[in-house]
Amino acid sequence: MTRQIGFNAFAMNTVGHQSPGLWRHPDDRSAHYRDLEHWTELARVLERGVFDGIFLADVLGTYDVYGGDSTASLRAAAQVPINDPMLLVPAMALVTEHLGFGVTANTSAEHPFPFARRMSTLDHLTRGRVGWNIVTGYLDSAARNLGGTQLPHDQRYDHAEEYLEVVRRLWEESWEDDAVVRDAASGVFTDPAKVHPIDHHGRWFDVPGFHLSEPSPQRTPVIYQAGSSPRGIGFAARHAEAVFVAASGPASLATTVARVRAAVAEAGRDPRSVRIYTKLTIVTDATPQAARAKYDDYLAHTDAEGALALVSGWMGEDLSRHDLDQPLADVTSNAIHTYASAYSGVDDDGRPWTVRDLALRAGIGGLGQLVVGSGEEVADEVQALVEQTDVDGFNLAYAVTPGSFVDVVEHVVPVLQARGAYPTAYRPGTLRHKLFGRGDRPARRQAVLTAGAGR
Amino acid sequence: MTRQIGFNAFAMNTVGHQSPGLWRHPDDRSAHYRDLEHWTELARVLERGVFDGIFLADVLGTYDVYGGDSTASLRAAAQVPINDPMLLVPAMALVTEHLGFGVTANTSAEHPFPFARRMSTLDHLTRGRVGWNIVTGYLDSAARNLGGTQLPHDQRYDHAEEYLEVVRRLWEESWEDDAVVRDAASGVFTDPAKVHPIDHHGRWFDVPGFHLSEPSPQRTPVIYQAGSSPRGIGFAARHAEAVFVAASGPASLATTVARVRAAVAEAGRDPRSVRIYTKLTIVTDATPQAARAKYDDYLAHTDAEGALALVSGWMGEDLSRHDLDQPLADVTSNAIHTYASAYSGVDDDGRPWTVRDLALRAGIGGLGQLVVGSGEEVADEVQALVEQTDVDGFNLAYAVTPGSFVDVVEHVVPVLQARGAYPTAYRPGTLRHKLFGRGDRPARRQAVLTAGAGR
């Protein structure tokens, strides 16, 4: 049986997202990110294309490593200005029926008690179509503006583990399924005996009370996570239902996917129960020639400085201090980490990158796989990638929006559908059920979570 | 010239809001608060009725004073379960063009840096139709679940003052009007020289950086505030553009309105530049008889215990320990404070209330003015109230939703419009411009704020 592939749209409530400079392209409307209609139109396009969902990235700071401040980022609109992602969801939900919404939220930004209510509210309003991409924060500028310094990497994960325990207990343990009885005769809306305080007292949080929201369709949103460090992969293996992985090329991607699946199995879970996505940028058109011309046109609109501002932030290394032709290995030993990207700086064929290679590759859709061609060509490459790497689907970054998504829906999706490699309709029900076909609620909770729960 | 009156809808992302028990009435759909369509339908009704806005109250805790826990609140659905209010706005904004959105947010719930971005995002997405009702928190249960104890009342206002200073500086001082140039030729999206860190270092917050959002139509949302304590009125007098006041009857309301206007003048502002609303519940129908029958029917559906659970929370006094016929004055010396209500427990004619009086009065629309009658009768009373008290408008609490609002739009609004006492169309532009007719931006900032600003 042909393997089914899933697409997510990779977007952000900002200009350009991962394609700094492309806002100058006449087809790009990303600078309309402030208009609701920009997003509702995109949502309709994606649902027409049977996308799994729209995945909304976020940062709560700016890229200020390149040149030592935010000058380059501001000039190029490299993820600044940036608005809140969560507030886009209700409007997009109103005009769609099936599309999923993956929302990025940082465990160091908000206390888990009100955050749990926000996600429950979204799960109610979307009728169970919301996911949460857990990030632990990687921009120092965000931590500073929240009035502190960033926790060391490993402590961030300790903090995130406790954060997740608190919100999961609020979502899963506080209200029993039949707590809301809504019985007009007796006048009882909620049976108080079936609502339980979580009585959490931990290292980072004290939350004695019960959840403020009644149970939502999924209760716990679908958990997304990315993280290429050993600690990050461990976290994903225990908690994530969808994982984002990244690599320099197909061979290293295959290795990463295998590593994640092994870690999931080691955590006592079915390695096929986790959906693994990697980032992909598709430039496509009716013919191979038109697609290549389109790519060259996009390339002419990229902004190298903006791209290096992003990459410098991801690496924590100021690339403005180096010659563009310097080999990357001479510049830094830092790996390039972001929740969407992790690169060794070496191609699959062993050729080491220069700083310029980085800027070029990060210019359209950020770092990640890039495919240029007709619908048939792209479908071939996408299927080959799945074959080679065992990845389940793709987070599609855009060159221009909504154009890049419209192109995929027009040229690529029908080809994959005709080959039986892409869904032609949505499964009914919640996002979790659409993705995994096993009901609305998370699979039985892992030992690590139930251990501390006992009531 | 006949004085123009403004209406807000007073609502909450919960069941029943201020009418515990009315969820059992066949006309009430408040238990559909989890559905987007419930809210978009309401928004359309309100815009048809040329309401100033919908005012969304919120609490981040439960009413657990009555009986010493949340049993009574849960049973009666007295503001629990309760979802996040902010996430309703984008969907309602999508289906309306003019309606304003007043969102309650607590200064002790979220750090001002991400909060400022959320409000800017809403102001962008609504094209400048958002207001912020500043509350400093009054439920101990909320403070406990946020991992601390509530600050003493006066310190809460110190904290809120600094919070407001931080968010206002992010909104007003960080990005110059022409910072976003979006010049394709030069490749400059934002001129970095025109984006300024606020460099705030205060007692409660350190926010060194600049705002993440580009300037929104209003920049600062319209500031709403309620507060009947001397400190609360002082805060409102300095900062608020719309103030909510409450009183037991017209005479005490007139006194309160005069006190607020005097405080505004004392703070160096035009006392007419602040819009003063009071809470009002209207039960109306085509004829006086039908309206009275409707009221009796609603009354039969109220839940006295639920009402006392709310009032006990507002007072901080457990009313379950007292006989219903006891005079209130024997029970407690606490005033009844909420951001929508402040009552002496004595009628204008001097008759002291019993506990039962409280429960009855709080049963439909909570405590506040109540008017029952035909459209003509209600219009008479509303105009008389404005005449006697100098109030500018009303926050309309509902008995049933959307029914109570539909009734007002059908029966009362046309009468007031025919008398020239109510707008027949919206002014163009932002919420601030609609309300005050003086442009999109806040009036020149007060000395108290500019003092510490200097850059």
Residues of B in contact with A189 (CB under 8 A): 15, 23, 31, 74-77
Assign A157 a pLDDT band (cuts: 50, 70, 90): confident
- pLDDT per residue over B56-81, tens digit each? 999 999 999 999 999 999 999 999 99
Return d(Cα A138, Cα A147) in angstroms, integer: 15
Give the minimum alpha-carbon distance from A352 to chain B in angstroms, rounded to a whole number: 30
Mean pLDDT on B210-234: 92
Q: Which of residues 106-135 of B touch A (CB under 8 A)?
A: 109-111, 113-114, 117-118, 120-122, 124-125
Interface membership of A184 toward B (CB under 8 Å): yes
The stretch A33-41 carries a mean pLDDT of 98
pLDDT above 50 (res B339): no
- pLDDT for A449 equals 43
Chain A residues within an 8 Å CB radius of B61: 209, 212
Among candidate residues B118, B122, B83, the one with its CA nearest the CA of residue B100: B122
pLDDT at B448: 40
Number of H helices, E strands in chain B: 17, 15
pLDDT for residue B312 is more than 50 = yes
Cβ contact (<8 Å) for B187 and A122?
no
Percent of chain B having pLDDT more than 90?
74
DSSP calls for A282-347: EEEESSHHHHHHHHHHHHHT--HHHHHHHHHHHHT--GGGS-TTSBHHHH----EEETTEEE-SB-
| CA–CA dist B53, B74 (Å, integer) | 29
How much is the pLDDT for B450?
41
Under an 8 A CB cutoff, do B94 and A94 touch? yes
Rounded average pLDDT over A211-215: 98
pLDDT value of residue B455:
34
Residues in A touching B192 (Cβ below 8 Å): 70-71, 74-75
Per-residue model confidence (pLDDT) at position B228: 72
Residue in A with minimal Cα distance to B184: A24
Domains and CATH numbers, chain B: 6-436 (3.20.20.30)
Cβ atoms of residues B83 and A121 within 8 Å = yes
pLDDT tens column, A312-368: 988 888 989 988 888 877 776 555 544 334 455 666 677 778 888 888 778 898 887
User: How many whole angstroms separate alpha carbon A100 and alpha carbon A128?
Assistant: 9
End-to-end C-alpha distance for chain A, whole angstroms: 45
Query: What tokens were used for B262?
Result: 């005097």
The chain-wide mean pLDDT, for chain A, equals 91
Q: Which of A248, A271, A257 is CA-nearest to residue A335? A: A248
Q: Which 3 state secondary structure label does DSSP give A53?
A: strand
Q: Can you tell me the mean pLDDT for B412-432?
A: 98
CB B314 within 8 A of CB B73: no
Reported as a pLDDT band with limits 50, 70 and 90, residue B426 is very high
Confidence class for position B381, pLDDT limits 50, 70, 90: very high
Is any Cβ of chain B less than 8 angstroms from the Cβ of A82?
yes
Whether A2 has a pLDDT exceeding 60, the answer reads: yes
Q: Identify which has the larger pLDDT, B140 or A81.
A: A81
Residue that wins the pLDDT comparison between A228 and A353 = A353
Distance from CA of B364 to the nearest CA of A (A): 16
Measured in degrees and rounded to the nearest 5, phi and psi for residue A223 equal -90, 120
Say yes or no to pLDDT of A33 above 60: yes
What residues of chain B lie within 8 A of the CB of A114, using their CB? 60, 84, 109-110, 146
Report chain B's mean pLDDT, rounded to a whole number: 91
Q: Give residue-wise pLDDT tens across range A160-208.
A: 999 999 999 999 999 999 999 999 999 999 999 999 999 999 999 999 9
CB contact under 8 A, B114 and A146: yes
pLDDT of residue A444: 65
Residues in chain A within 8 Å Cβ distance of B187: 21, 24, 75-76, 303
Q: Which among A90, A188, A212 has CB closest to B80? A: A212
Mutate to test the interface with B, among A83, A120, A305 (most CBs of B within 10 A): A83
Rounded Cα–Cα distance for residues B115 and B168 (Å): 11
Considering CB atoms only, which of B82, B86, B187 is closest to A212? B82
Residue-wise pLDDT tens digits, A288-312: 999 999 999 999 999 999 999 998 9
- Chain B residues in contact with A86 by the CB 8 A cut-off are 87, 118
- What is the band of B443 on the pLDDT scale with cuts at 50, 70, 90? confident
Q: Which of B87, B180, B212 sits opposite A125 (nearest CB)?
A: B87
Q: What is the pTM of this model?
A: 0.94
Residue-level pLDDT at B447: 40
Query: What pLDDT score was predicted for residue A354?
Result: 84
Supply the pLDDT for residue B335: 53
ipTM of the complex: 0.94
CB atoms A146 and B113 under 8 Å: yes
Give the confidence band of B231 by pLDDT, cuts at 50, 70, 90.
Answer: confident
| Mean pLDDT, residues A40-52 taken together | 98
